[in-house]
Amino acid sequence: MYTITDPQFLAMALAAIAAAASVYSIAMPLVSGDNLNKRLKAVSVERERIRARERERLSASQARPSLRQRPTARLREIVDRFRLSDWLGTDSAKKQLALAGYRGQKAEYTFLLFRLVMPIALGLISGFYLFVLNSFELAALMRLVIVMIAIYLGIKLPEIYLRNTRDKRQASLRRAWPDALDLLLICVESGMSIEQAIRRVSVEVGTNSIALAEELTLTSAEMSYLNDRRAAYENLAERTGLEQVKAVVTALLQAEKYGTPIGQALRVLAQESRDQRMAEAEKKAAALPPKLTVPMIVFFLPVLFAVLLTPALIQVFETFQ
């Protein structure tokens, strides 16, 4: 019977973990879906949706449709019946959903439903293990505290997931934004209008950042069908939440208001974005040696000492024998 402190059991467990990690790292690229083509296809139909919306808006005899995804009837019924939007919904959560790329009422209702289900599920699971099975043999007060912590964690898990998704999306936007500005500058200086330039850049930048291609496509569609292009620029800055994008939007708004050329402003902003991206890369490179210190001490040095000292120890043991 193996125990946790048995060296043979520990060696077998570490070998199993290493084998599983190797299989996972090799198999993941093979089984991962082609998200690029899916998102680009979704981006390509946004213009048609906006066009249909504007046609319906101009037609007084028909109801105005919405660009946003509608929730299913059952999901809407659950959220409305329990009034989840009143005691689980916040303005900050709605803003985080928009920054994470989740648009429409369906995303909001799904988020509210998960905020209701997760604490109940984690509370029931932890209560079953602690009070029914009692595998850990803890005191009743300690078990109650653990169940309360699990419930609180269930409330916060959707927010943590949403925050991580937002950070990943903004990182993708931040990496691809200098290249998009360079392409936008080339298109503008070649004589294209700003609408055509943004539309062209949204097609070319899709291989680097799907999120940025989606945002630029939506901006191009809004510029084509909205009455005021200023609203399209402001919506772009609000959806991305990046300072670099806000600076470009400010330059575009000034050019829209005063009729000034935007080529020089885009050139300066593109250079600043590239410098900022290089500064961030240098910052990460400078922080790498301190981060590698602990892994080297824990993993590399013991192996190095074992390789160097094992032959000498073998010779010493053979001499004493």
In this prediction, residue 149 carries a pLDDT of 93
Dump pLDDT digits (tens) for 189-209: 888 888 889 989 988 888 888
Distances in Å between the Cα of 278 and the Cα atoms of 242, 251, 260, 269, 282 are 17, 23, 30, 14, 6
User: What's the whole-number average pLDDT of the chain?
Assistant: 79
How many alpha carbons lie under 13 Å from residue 218 in its C-beta half-sphere? 22
Q: Are 252 and 79 in contact (CB under 8 A)?
A: no
DSSP codes joined into one string, 151-205: HHHHHHHHHHHHHHHHHHHHHHHHHHHHHHHHHHHHHHHTT--HHHHHHHHHHHG
Q: What are phi and psi of 27, to 5 degrees?
A: -85, -25
Digitized pLDDT (tens) for each residue of the chain, 321 residues in all: 445 556 677 777 777 787 777 777 776 666 555 565 665 566 556 656 665 665 565 554 334 334 445 556 666 666 666 555 655 556 677 788 888 888 777 778 788 888 888 888 999 998 888 888 776 677 888 888 989 999 999 888 988 998 899 999 999 998 899 999 999 999 988 888 888 899 899 888 888 888 888 899 889 888 888 888 888 888 899 888 888 899 889 888 888 888 778 888 888 888 888 888 888 888 888 888 888 888 888 888 888 888 888 888 888 888 887
pLDDT at residue number 42 = 61
Look at the pTM and tell me if it is higher than 0.75.
no
Question: Residue 294's CB: how many other CB atoms inside 10 A?
Answer: 9
